Amino acid sequence: MPKIADIKEEIVIPDGVEVSIDSGSITVKGEKGSLSKTLFHPMINIIVKNNVVEINCKSPHRREKALVGTFTAHIKNMIKGVTEGFEYRMKTVFSHFPIKTTVEGNEFVIHNFLGERSPRKARILDGVKVEIKGDEITLWGIDKEKVGQTAANIERATKVKNRDIRVFQDGIYLVSKEKMMK
C-alpha cells in the first residue's frame, strides 16, 4: 500500500486558553472550565509550542491520516468548549397526550408520553445543565460529546414503539445546535 506524504496540522491557541500535554493526555483550560482527553497513537506526535498545537505524522497510511484529522477536530472542539461552550435546543412535540418534562437529579423525566402510566427517564451526563421552559428544552455545557450524548439520550427515551410513526409523531426532538449564550 503506498504511503501518503507527511501530514502536519496546526491549531492556533486563542488568548486565555492554556493547552498542556502529558503522555498522550491533553488538557485544555479556559474561562469556562477545563477539559481533558486521551489522544494517543504511536505514529502521531502532538506538540505545543509558541501558542500553536502541532499534530504531525511521518509517512502515514490512510488510517493515520484519518486519525490526524480526528485529533485536530477533538482539540478544536475542546478549545471552543472552554471559550464559548455548546448549547443544544430541543422541543417537545405532542398531538395525542400532553407531555410533561422535569429534571430530577441527573435524570430527565418524561411523564405521560403517549398516555403511559410510568414515566420514561433519560440520563443527564456530568457537566451538562438542562433548563425547561414550557415545550422548549435547552442543554448546555463545555464538553460537546457530553451535551450531544445527553440530547441523544432524551431523544431515544421518547422513541415510539408498536405504533405508526406517521400518525404518532409525539416526542422530544433536537431543533438546533449553537454556541453557548450563557
What is the per-residue pLDDT across 63-115, written as a single tens digit (0 to 9) for each?
888 999 999 999 999 999 999 999 999 999 988 789 999 999 999 999 988 88
**Alpha carbon distance 129, 132 (integer Å):** 10
- 9 contacts 72 by C-beta, under 8 angstroms: yes
Stretches where the chain sits below pLDDT 70 are 1-4, 164-167, 179-182
Dihedral sign for Cα atoms in the order 19, 76, 178, 109: negative
Residue 1 lies inside a defined structural domain of this protein: no
How many domains is the chain built from? 2
Range of the domain at 61: 7-83
Residues 92 and 148 grouped into a single domain: yes
Residue 79 lies inside a defined structural domain of this protein: yes
The whole-number pLDDT of residue 76 equals 94
Q: Which residues pair with 93 in a beta bridge?
A: 171
Residue 2 lies inside a defined structural domain of this protein: no
- 149 contacts 124 by C-beta, under 8 angstroms: no
Nearest to 144 by CA among 42, 37, 52: 37
**Alpha carbon distance 22, 25 (integer Å):** 5
The whole-number pLDDT of residue 178 equals 79
At 100 the three-state DSSP class reads: strand
